[in-house]
Chain A
Amino acid sequence: MSEPLLKVAKLTKEFPLKGGLFGGHTASVHAVDGVDFHVDRGETLGLVGESGCGKSTTGRCVLRLIEPSSGEIHFDGKDVRSLKADDLRILRRDIQIIFQDPYASLNPRMNVGAIVGEALIIHQLTKTKQQFEERVVDLLETVGLRADHMGRYPNEFSGGQRQRIGIARALAVEPKLIICDEPVSALDVSIQAQVINLLEDLQEKFGLAYLFIAHDLAVVEHISKRIAVMYLGRIVEMASAHELYASPRHPYTEALLSAVPIPDPKVKRQRVRLSGEVPNPISPPTGCHFHTRCPIAQFPLCKSEAPPLKQSADGHWVACHFR
């Protein structure tokens, strides 16, 4: 087996909370709490979990848009965490990101040509103005937009088109990995499928790897080869997409899956309802983070000891004392 493209180990990120009378920090949010995963070349890893469980923070830490608190990140043989500013800029030609909000992610005062072509200028990828324009047109056409969109501004486009602009911007540097941070969550259902199809086509065409973040399992099912499920900053289950759907192990995954509608009415799935709210990440539950809502929790074990993420069957990882 060759080295994976991206390997993340024991990644943690704590956000200090400014507060208190004198601005000293009194507490912190454990947004990411010891996460391990890898992404192979050209593959898609889905990262799923409820809103606020630390998915975006994980994705941004990989690019060091957010500085991780601790842990290791290796990309293509490079130790990402030790890179200095100049090398980090070079790394960012290999890893790109697509954002959730198609409105906030495009500069309203730049036209589409300037947005898509910005990386070409930053990394001096084209020499002449003519080359620049040819490349931008090429990128726009790759994502299903037209050459005459170049001179227009973001406010003239729909959400789906804006997401395409964001994708073209990411493609400009010919990255090897794209972090897709809920790229379709803000779009209409009919447009979601178009954008996902586009992402699949691009993956095939350019051999891209994706870290595909979503808050529900239905979205990642088709695009992902493997899926990791996150709960309150930790990965609780990771398996091939097929395995995860066919035989989920972790009670949290079961609960998430039971919320996904099944097209085949003959297949019956037991509905598992989660009781209670997502706990506050400032003071997460002790032991297994899930014990406050877990239908099969046993005490005191689940409350006192955090279950490690262990490989149970081949390639199927679960973090639960009883599965």
Chain B
Amino acid sequence: MAVASIAILTLLTAAVLFGPLIWRMPINEIDFTARLSPPSWEHPFGTDDLGQDLLARMLYGGRISLAVGFAAMAVAIIVGVLIGAISGISRGSVDAALMWITDLFLALPQLPLLLLVIYLFRDFLKNWVGAEGGVFILIVLVIGAFRWMPVARLVRAQFLSLREKEFVEAARALGATTPRLVIRHILPNSLGPVIVAGTIDVAAAIIAESTLSFLGLGFPPDIPTWGRLLFDAKDYLDIAPHWALFAGAAIFLTVLTINFIGDGLRDALDPRRVM
């Protein structure tokens, strides 16, 4: 299952990376004679209400959707590992404060805050790095900022149990400093579950981006992310179902395969198999 998923996901990634080089149809060529046409040889995924080629739009939009997913995962993991590690290795008040912050973030109502933050900062970032880049940074940061807490808790729990392990004690007895203990001994043994959790974050971020685009708060309308395609397609579900179908299927496949890969990784990284 996991192996098949890796194959499918690789294919998807390769398609969005190299597809536009092969399928050279422009994403924004308006052709009113071919409005809402179903899949054909000329337009394999059909066209939208302006006669734009959907395959080209999906390939282009997929780059952004996948990039958002992986970048948000990276942010969530980096923040989560940092907070969890500091919390897990220090005792007392530092640990307590960090866990308090983590709980606070967990308790926040995420979607309303997400909308609020985007609403407040969008224009500022738009002026600063342009519409596309601004929204990208914003979405990645915001999704990352709301997804690091489970990672932090996971890493902290791993640290608490690992630092009592005899091999860590042995390294201390050899004279290892705390940074060395963390980097060489504790962290490498705590990352298995984190990677598994990270795969789920990719899926969650892609869905969150789709949700935002669907609500009209994501990327500008002329950037056809998969979520935006769904959003635009919703008014034509009865006369042009192909429009929503392909974008929906792409999101579904990506999320599903990533989750299967996460499951596979969990089994492969299970320490009981190693030890």
Contacts and interface: CB of A to CB of B under 8 A. Distances in A.
Interface of A: 60, 63, 65, 89-90, 92-93, 95-97, 99-101, 103-110, 118-119, 122-123, 153-155, 166, 169, 172-173
A109 to B, nearest CB: 5
Contact of A92 (B165, B174, B189): B174
Nearest to A110: B184
B175 interface: yes
A144 B125 CA distance: 65
Nearest to A103: B275
A204 B167 CA distance: 27
B189 A123 contact: no
A173 B173 CA distance: 11
Contacts of A101: 166
A86 to B, nearest CB: 10
Contacts of A122: 174-176, 180
A186 to B, nearest CB: 11
A108 B175 contact: no
B175 A92 contact: yes
B175 A89 contact: yes
Given A97-B170, A173-B174, 11 more contacts: A65-B169, A65-B173, A89-B177, A106-B170, A107-B185, A107-B188, A109-B189, A109-B274, A110-B184, A118-B174, A118-B176
17 contacts: A65-B172, A89-B177, A92-B173, A92-B174, A92-B175, A96-B174, A97-B169, A104-B166, A106-B170, A107-B184, A109-B274, A110-B184, A110-B185, A118-B174, A119-B174, A119-B175, A153-B274
B166 A99 contact: yes
B271 interface: yes
B-side interface size class: 20 to 34
Contacts of A108: 189, 271, 274-275
A130 B274 CA distance: 30
A31 to B, nearest CB: 15
Given A122-B180, A155-B274, A155-B275, A106 B175 contact: no
Given A103-B275, A104-B166, A104-B167, A97 B173 contact: yes
Contact of A107 (B167, B173, B175, B177): B167
A169 B170 contact: yes
Nearest to A88: B175
Nearest to A114: B184
Scoring B169, B174, B180 by chain A CB atoms within 10 A of each residue's CB, the highest score goes to B174
Nearest to A181: B166
B125 to A, nearest CB: 40
9 cross-chain pairs, A with B, having the tightest CB-CB distances, nearest first = A89-B175, A105-B166, A119-B174, A104-B166, A107-B167, A92-B175, A99-B166, A109-B188, A108-B274
Nearest to A166: B170
A63 B166 CA distance: 14
* Secondary structure class of chain B's binding surface, majority of residues: helix
Contacts of B165: 104
Contacts of A65: 169, 172-173
A173 to B, nearest CB: 7
A68 to B, nearest CB: 16
Nearest to B271: A108
Interface string B175-187: 1110010001100
Interface in B139-189: 165-167, 169-177, 180, 184-185, 188-189
A290 B243 CA distance: 83
A105 B176 CA distance: 15
Contacts of B274: 108-109, 153, 155
A99 to B, nearest CB: 5
B174 A169 contact: yes
Contacts of B180: 122
Contacts of A100: 166
Interface string B67-87: 000000000000000000000
Scoring A60, A63, A93, A107 by chain B CB atoms within 10 A of each residue's CB, the highest score goes to A107
Scoring A100, A101, A109, A172 by chain B CB atoms within 10 A of each residue's CB, the highest score goes to A109
Contact of B170 (A95, A99, A109): A99
B179 to A, nearest CB: 12
Contacts of A103: 275
Contacts of B184: 107, 110, 118
A12 to B, nearest CB: 21
Nearest to A90: B175
A99 B174 contact: no
B169 A107 contact: no
B170 A105 contact: yes
A105 B174 contact: no
B169 A99 contact: yes
Contacts of B177: 89
Nearest to B185: A107
Nearest to B173: A97
Contacts of A105: 166-167, 170
Contacts of B275: 103, 108, 154-155
A54 to B, nearest CB: 17
B48 to A, nearest CB: 51
Nearest to A108: B274
A99 B170 CA distance: 8
A299 to B, nearest CB: 41
A172 B271 CA distance: 28
A97 B180 CA distance: 19
